[in-house]
Amino acid sequence: MDFQKRENSMSTAALTIAVIGCLAIFILPVYLPTIFAGISIVLALLSKGSSPYFSQRALTGMIVSICSLILNILIFILCICLVFTVPEFHEQFDKTYEQIYGESFDDALNGIMEDR
């Protein structure tokens, strides 16, 4: 297989996976976008090979992946801030936590703090 064809296929795959990862932010935030962005960045780096520059597709894929990672981190931080600052969100989180683990989040947090 010719090196140029392999470079093109890897850079195309990097761009495609980066776009899928960017769309995955709305499907399953945190996990899928992080995995897809990591794969896309690795493919973009591998497509460079011994060339001193990235192809246009590989560079675009890397930029889209980095932007989706940043957006994903911002969404995660915003959700954490909302849970701890807005009482309605905190109550809903507390109820869900209690359904899953059998005790409220506040009780579990107080138990952890008392152990220290």
Residue 32 identity (one-letter amino acid) = L
- pLDDT category of residue 66 using cuts at 50, 70 and 90: very high
Scored b (16 or more CB within 10 A) or e, 77-113 reads eeeeeeeeeeeeeeeebbeebeeeeeebbeeeeeeee
Q: Could you report the per-residue pLDDT of 11-29, keeping only the tens digit for each? A: 999 999 999 999 998 888 8
- The mean-pLDDT minimum among 21-25, 62-66, 69-73, 109-113 falls in 109-113
SS3 content of the chain, % helix, strand, coil (to 5): 85, 0, 15
Cα four-point dihedral sign 72, 78, 83, 86: negative
- Take residue 54 and report the two structure tokens written for it: 């990235």
